[in-house]
């Protein structure tokens, strides 16, 4: 059985960034990854800008100035100031070439056209120089950046309307299990409500992957083979929930063999999620996620997200990891590495009660996972531990 780190490395090694790129409007580009460098076609700010509401001055020794006019944000007037002259000016307005400082209005008093300043400001005070942020032809954003609201705002400020991004993966979510029925129908004996499919779709959406289709399958080998074969022709990534363990009706592994999917690994020395499967065929990646809901989600965060991110050109797709001080003790049983549902706040992390892989309740309250490596057996209160921050 391989270690968590080996599994992470194998996912990294075996996933490739798609060759397909598309042009999208920047308002549709959130969470896409840039497939090309973005070069600024303008200089920003495009002119010397006032950083304050106040007065633009042509400095002289004296503390009094003659006000000769007004410039509002958006105006294109360029009055000429002689030494000792001032114009009323507002934040964002163009500072005339003949002004060499802006004084904030709080430091002035006005009597008709006579302006008195408490002190003469230093040269260039409160003037944003032309090109302070970026110059025409400079690199604005580098290929490989995942576009955040700030990145999109920045591009808008440069007048950019479209960008080249990597296509996002098309993801199929396949749930397996005769026991699963959809919420909204009466619960009959022996059945449970299907939850992994809904949960995975939400987790995908949260990470910005919206091209998703869900299929619910019974534990039927032939049906499974037929369906997965069909899906593998249309989808980039196929997430299979359940049916990957050693039970007589766990058909996912067998179906993968039948379809000649190349197994990259099966089984990881971890809890939850030991029977995790990862394989690929042609351009399609297959994850067999153990069906216990907490295992499914834990594996999704640790292995699926990085693969999806890499597919769309983001090399930094793993969830953020930090160190925090444990507020409680924990004794690990067995030699597998463990991902523990926990709550993180202000540098401290609390391991929650109810770590069984069948329990989603605990996961629903968690905002972090504490990671205990294989070789570690206990966590003692106040000890520094590794914490994976969940997207919340
Ligand atoms: P399996 O991996 O198929 O052996 O399933 C392990 C456990 O997870 C069983 O108790 C299943 O009933 C449960 N399970 C599997 N798939 C789902 C699902 N989609 N929603 C909720 N529970 C599931
Ligand atoms: Mg099952």
pLDDT, one tens digit per residue, over 114-134 is: 999 999 999 999 999 999 999
Q: What's the alpha-carbon Rg for the chain, to the nearest Å?
A: 30
Cβ proximity of 82 and 74 under 8 Å: no
By alpha-carbon position, which residue is closest to atom 12 of ligand 1? Answer: 179
Please state the atom number of ligand 1 nearest to the C-alpha of residue 179: 12
49-127 architecture in CATH? Beta Complex (2.170)
Cβ of 219 below 6 Å from ligand 1: no
From 249, 292, 363, give the residue whose CB has the most ligand 1 atoms within 8 Å, as the site to mutate: 292
Is ligand 1 within 6 A of the CB of residue 291?
A: yes
Tell me the average pLDDT across 79-99: 98
What pLDDT digit, counting tens, does each position of 182-202 carry? Answer: 999 999 999 999 999 999 999
Q: Is the Cβ atom of 169 under 6 angstroms away from ligand 1? A: no
pLDDT in tens, 258-284: 999 999 999 999 999 999 999 999 999
CB of 272 closer than 6 angstroms to any ligand 1 atom: no
Residue 199: strand, helix, or coil: helix
Q: How far is CA 243 from the centre of its chain?
A: 30
Considering every ligand atom shown, identify the ligand nearest to the alpha carbon of residue 180 and give its number: 1
245 strand-pairing partners? none
Distance CA 251, CA 255 (A): 6
Residue extents of the structural domains in the chain: 4-19+168-311, 21-43+133-166, 49-127, 321-389
- Among candidate residues 221, 224, 338, the one with its CA nearest the CA of residue 286: 224
Domains 4-19+168-311 and 21-43+133-166 share a fold: no
pLDDT of residue 169: 98
Tell me the fold of 321-389.
Beta-clip (2.40.340)
Please state whether the predicted TM-score (pTM) of the whole model is above 0.85: yes
What does the pLDDT average to over 68-92? 98
CB 338 within 8 A of CB 269: no
CATH class of 4-19+168-311: alpha beta
Where does 21-43+133-166 sit in CATH, by number?
3.90.105.10
Is any ligand 1 atom within 6 A of the Cβ of residue 194? yes
Ion ligand 2, residues whose Cβ is below 5 A away: 177, 242-243, 291
Closest C-alpha residue for ligand 1 atom 15:
291
Asked if residues 323 and 301 have their Cβ atoms less than 8 Å apart, the reply is: no
What distance lies between CA 308 and its chain's CA centroid? 12
């Amino acid at each position: 059985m391989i270690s968590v780190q080996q599994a992470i490395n194998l996912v990294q090694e075996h996933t490739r960034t798609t060759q397909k790129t598309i042009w999208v409007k920047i308002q549709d580009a959130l969470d896409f990854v840039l497939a090309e460098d973005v070069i600024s076609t303008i200089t920003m700010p495009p002119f010397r800008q006032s950083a304050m509401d106040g007065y633009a001055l042509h400095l002289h020794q004296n503390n009094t100035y003659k006000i000769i006019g007004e410039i509002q944000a958006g105006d294109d007037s360029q009055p000429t100031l002689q030494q000792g002259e001032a114009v009323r000016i507002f934040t964002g307005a163009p500072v005339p070439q003949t002004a060499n400082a802006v004084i904030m209005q709080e430091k002035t008093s006005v009597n008709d056209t006579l302006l008195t300043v408490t002190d003469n400001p230093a040269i260039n005070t409160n003037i944003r120089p032309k090109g302070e942020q970026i110059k025409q032809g400079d690199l604005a954003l580098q290929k490989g950046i995942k576009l955040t609201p700030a990145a999109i705002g920045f591009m808008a400020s440069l007048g950019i309307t479209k960008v080249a991004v990597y296509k996002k993966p098309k993801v199929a979510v396949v749930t397996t299990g005769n026991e699963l029925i959809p919420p909204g129908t009466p619960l009959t004996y022996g059945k449970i409500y299907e939850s992994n499919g809904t949960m995975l779709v939400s987790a995908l959406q949260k990470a910005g992957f919206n091209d998703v289709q869900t299929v619910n399958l019974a534990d039927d080998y032939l049906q499974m083979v037929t369906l997965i074969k069909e899906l593998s022709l249309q989808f980039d990534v196929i997430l299979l929930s359940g049916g990957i363990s050693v039970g007589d009706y766990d058909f996912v592994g067998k179906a993968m063999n039948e379809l000649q999917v190349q197994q990259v690994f099966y089984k990881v020395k971890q809890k939850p999620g030991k029977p995790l499967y990862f394989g690929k065929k042609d351009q399609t990646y297959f994850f067999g996620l153990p069906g216990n809901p907490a295992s499914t989600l834990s594996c999704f965060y640790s292995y699926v997200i990085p693969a999806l991110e890499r597919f769309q050109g983001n090399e930094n797709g793993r969830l953020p990891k930090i160190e925090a001080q444990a507020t409680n003790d924990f004794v690990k049983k067995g030699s597998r590495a463990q991902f523990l549902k926990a709550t993180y706040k202000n540098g401290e992390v609390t391991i929650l009660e109810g770590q069984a892989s069948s329990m989603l309740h605990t996961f629903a309250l968690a905002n972090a996972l504490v990671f205990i490596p294989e070789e570690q057996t206990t966590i003692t209160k106040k000890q520094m531990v590794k914490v994976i921050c969940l997207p919340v």
